[in-house]
Amino acid sequence: MSTVTTSKPSTPATVSAAAAVGPADEGRIGLRGNLRHIGALVRRNTLQIKQDPESMFDVVFMPIIFTLLFVFVFGGAISGKGQQEAYVNYVVPGLMAMMGMNIAMGVGTGVNDDFKKGVMDRFRSMPIARSSVLIAKIVVELGRMMVAIAILLAVGFMLGLSIKTSVLDLFLSIGLSAVFGASLMWIFILLGLTMKTAQAVQGMAMLVLMPLQFGSSIFAPPSTMPGWLQTFTDYNPLSNLADAARGLINGGAVAHPVWVTLAWSVAITLVTMPLAVRKFRQKT
């Protein structure tokens, strides 16, 4: 092929006798190896929860407290006194979207904490794909999210939630929440890797979350909101996810909000995942 057989890499920092003989880097990890590593790390994260059961408090109590609060505090005001049950069917699909966001937020502080520990140096000096540490974290957090959604639905059913479509539609709404939740986790992982302390991550996350959560159709229909805010809620991915879940559980048109939610999920993941993995690689 090339006739210039004597040429050497131009950067002196990367030249060495061994490199001149050996191939550039053949240590790429195959898919099966990657899955095995992710599996071992998922086991690690799960055992951590076992050792520290208090870390499950949020996913157990958040859905109970939020559902009771919103149904009984706002339910009457929004759906009419004594009409709380109607509000249950409105707010529970919305809360499903919110669970995803709140749990995703915790991933950022978790990653930030994890990085302060020596074990991260060990992982990074081992022959594993560095992304597998992050992916394992996301898998476990999705599991926690499923627990939160199960409890949310259980509380919902006790308060009179009814599925007006089919179980399949219910599962589709859960799946959509998981897809969107996973994409949000990449944002918070990126934040967690970028910011210096877990508190800073928490503060920053709250700043982003509050307007997104309340400037949405999660808690109340946007029809009473001023026009500029309605425009905001129209594009707010949380509104779309809440609308999609609501449509899937209560019936009605779902195609538009489902596509918008999926588009947001893909876009967020495509932008933030490579940045997060890169940041993770460059961490020193």
Q: Can you give the binding site for another protein, defined by CB under 8 A? A: 12-19, 21-29, 33, 36-37, 39-41, 43-44, 47-48, 51-52, 117-128, 283-284
Tell me the backbone φ, ψ of residue 173, rounded to 5 degrees. Answer: -65, -35
Q: How far apart are the first and last CA of the chain?
A: 39
Is the CB of 15 or the CB of 68 nearer to another protein? 15
Q: Is 52 exposed, middle or buried (0-12, 13-18, 19+ CB in 10 A)?
A: exposed
Is the CB of 45 or the CB of 233 nearer to another protein? 45
CB of 29 to another protein, least distance (A): 7
Q: CA-to-CA distance for 155 and 81, rounded, in angstroms?
A: 20
Is the CB of 47 or the CB of 68 nearer to another protein? 47
Residue 264 tokens read as: 């947001």
Q: CA-to-CA distance for 276 and 186, rounded, in angstroms?
A: 7
Amino acid at site 283: K
CB of 44 to another protein, least distance (A): 5
CB of 142 to another protein, least distance (A): 20
CB of 156 to another protein, least distance (A): 33
Is the CB of 128 or the CB of 178 nearer to another protein? 128
Answer whether 242's CB lies under 8 Å from 100's CB.
no
